[in-house]
Amino acid sequence: MGKPSLYKRIFAAVFKAAVPLLALLFFPFVAAHGHGSENWYQFGFWLLLGLLGSCLVLLCLGWRWHSANNKASLGGQQSSNELRECLIAMAKMSNLGHMVAGISHEVKTPLGVGVTAASNLQQKSEQIQALYQSGQLTQESLEQYLKVSAESTGILLSNLQRASALMDSFKRTSVNHVKDQKADVVLAECLGDLFQSLSPALQAHSAELDFKCPPELMIRSYPAAIAQVFTNLLMNALEHGLKPKGGGTIRVRVKAEREGAEIEFADDGVGIAAEHQSRIYEPFFTTNAEAGGTGLGLNIVADLVAKTLCGNIQCTSFAPRGAVFKIYLPSLPPGP
């Protein structure tokens, strides 16, 4: 049985207070009338006026109590919304930290190869200079030097270009995370850059990524929210799906669908237990609390997909054969 309405509760309170008050004032009224008082009509008038005034005061107090409760409720809801926004911001910064670490790891390799090639070229140049100054430079030595020089400069150029491409990828991804605006998103580029930045996490979990997307597929959406969704999905798959079995494969397939895109994100990990599948999007629900799991990853995913990207997400899992997430992202209309 539901709670009585506000007006019923106020009326009941007024009635409960008015009846004793009426009884208290009724006896002097009867006494005055019984003694033949000539002012009993006036007395009755003031009695009725006092009763009405008391009811009005009680109604005002009830309304103020209701307003205070409403304000407290709205304040609690506002605090809850602020907490959610704070948690999402913290997750974004955490994921940006993962990307920085990933890019640093990736850039270190081509720069290290470039430094080795430059060092080797410097050493050969010093040797050929010494031979020239001593008059011992032969045609064979010069030809060998020219060969090493061409190889070293080729290695330097290719690795510097690789480092430059990685930095461009990081720039696009980081700008999207810091300032998200609706834009035309080429999904192959957006997701490709993201997965490239997270490749060290894949390597650390002995995981492989199988990513396929039509190169021309483009939707109008929020690139940072898309990156956030798939960062959380990938990290969730690594920590909860593949880590327990020591590695595996994450498969991502993208296709055009209903003026938007459908993205299938699947892993061949341990899957999600049947009793947990209905709760995976609940905030703070985690099966990995002892390892520091917060239970916010998939909750943020569902929130971003539904509220920011105006799409939908479905999950199917048949443990222990992995999990599959199907996400539909519509192309949003122009404008803010």
Interval 144-180: pLDDT, tens: 999 989 988 888 887 787 777 767 666 655 555 545 6
Q: Is 231 exposed, middle or buried (0-12, 13-18, 19+ CB in 10 A)?
A: buried
Per residue of the chain (336 residues), what is the pLDDT tens digit?
Answer: 444 555 555 555 555 555 555 554 554 544 444 444 445 555 555 555 555 666 665 566 666 666 666 655 555 556 656 665 665 555 555 555 555 555 565 677 678 778 888 888 999 999 999 999 998 989 999 999 999 899 888 888 877 877 777 676 666 555 555 456 889 999 999 999 888 878 878 888 899 999 999 999 999 999 888 988 998 899 889 888 888 778 899 999 999 998 999 999 999 988 888 888 878 888 777 766 555 556 677 888 888 899 889 999 999 887 678 899 999 999 998 876
Q: Coil, helix or strand for 210? A: strand
CB contact at 8 A, 230 and 191: yes
Distance of CA 212 to the CA centre of its chain: 24
- pLDDT for res 324: 93
Angstrom distance (rounded) from CA 97 to CA 93? 6
Residues contacting 297, CB < 8 A, separation 6+: 91, 232, 235, 236
Nearest to 230 by CA among 197, 273, 270, 182: 197
**331 DSSP assignment:** P
- pLDDT for res 34: 46
**pTM for this entry:** 0.54
Query: In this predicted model, what pLDDT tens digit does every residue of 20-69 receive, in sequence order?
Result: 555 545 545 444 444 444 455 555 555 555 556 666 655 666 666 666 66
Virtual CA dihedral for 212, 218, 219, 223, nearest 10 degrees?
A: 70
- Span 182-336 CATH architecture: 2-Layer Sandwich (3.30)
CB contact at 8 A, 75 and 117: no
